[in-house]
Amino acid sequence: MNTVTTASVSLGAVTIGLGILAWHLTKWWKTGGKGGGPGAPGGGGRDPKALIPLLSSMALGMLSITAAGGLIGTAATFLLNTGSMIGNWSLVTLTGTATPEVTRSGLKALTPGGCALLIIYFVICVALWKSGAKILKGKIVAGVVAGVMLGLSAGFSGMASVALVTVTNTIGDKITGVVL
C-alpha cells in the first residue's frame, strides 16, 4: 500500500516553516552554536552539532507529512492546515499579497517499511524530548513544525523531503524485510 497524502501546502505555511528555520539559524549563528556570543567564552565557533536537534526533528516533520494517514499523518495534516491558515492570514494582512498553493507535483509517499522506520524514529524523538532540557524540547517542537510546513513544498525543502523519503523507504524496507 503506497498511498500518497492528499495534503497541500500554501505559501503561508512555507513562510512559517522558513521563518522557524531562519529564527533558529540566526540564533545559532549569533551565539556560535554554544550559547555565548562571538566574544563570549566558547562562542564564535558555530558548532554544527548544535543544529542536530532542530534538523533531525525537521526530518521527522517532513516524514510525518508524507505518511498517508493514521494518527501521525492525520496530526501532521492538521498541523499543516493550521499553519497554512495562520500563514496565509499573516501574509495577506501584513503584505497584501496572494497566497498560492505551492505543493510539489509527483508526491512521494512512505512504503510500509518506511512507515515502520518513521514510527521507530518517532519513538526516538519522543524519548529525546521527554528526557531533554526545556531548550531541547523547544528545538524539537520547532523542528517538527517547520518540517511539516516545508515537507510538501515545491521548493528546495521539498526536494530535500523527497530525498529523505527515498532513503527512509530504502532503509525501512531493508531492515524490516518488506519486498515490494
CA-CA distance, 115 to 64, in Å (whole number)? Answer: 9
pLDDT of residue 34: 59
pLDDT of residue 65: 92
**Are 60 and 146 spatial neighbours (Cβ–Cβ below 8 Å)?**
no
- What is Dmax (Cα atoms) for the chain? 55
Residues of the chain with pLDDT under 50: 1-2, 36-43
The model carries a pTM of: 0.86
Condensed to tens digits (0 to 9), the pLDDT of residues 135-166 reads 888 899 999 999 999 999 988 888 888 899 99
**Are 69 and 82 spatial neighbours (Cβ–Cβ below 8 Å)?**
no
pLDDT of residue 167: 94
pLDDT of residue 5: 56
Handedness of CA 153, 68, 119, 164 (dihedral sign): negative
pLDDT of residue 4: 52
- Closest of 159, 172, 163, 166 to residue 122, by C-alpha: 172
Condensed to tens digits (0 to 9), the pLDDT of residues 8-21 reads 899 999 999 999 99
- What is the amino acid identity at position 70? G
**Are 116 and 123 spatial neighbours (Cβ–Cβ below 8 Å)?**
no
pLDDT of residue 107: 72
CA-CA distance, 132 to 151, in Å (whole number)? Answer: 25
pLDDT of residue 40: 45
pLDDT of residue 33: 62
Apex 19 CA angle, 54 and 40, nearest 5 = 60
List the beta bridge partners of residue 103.
Answer: 153
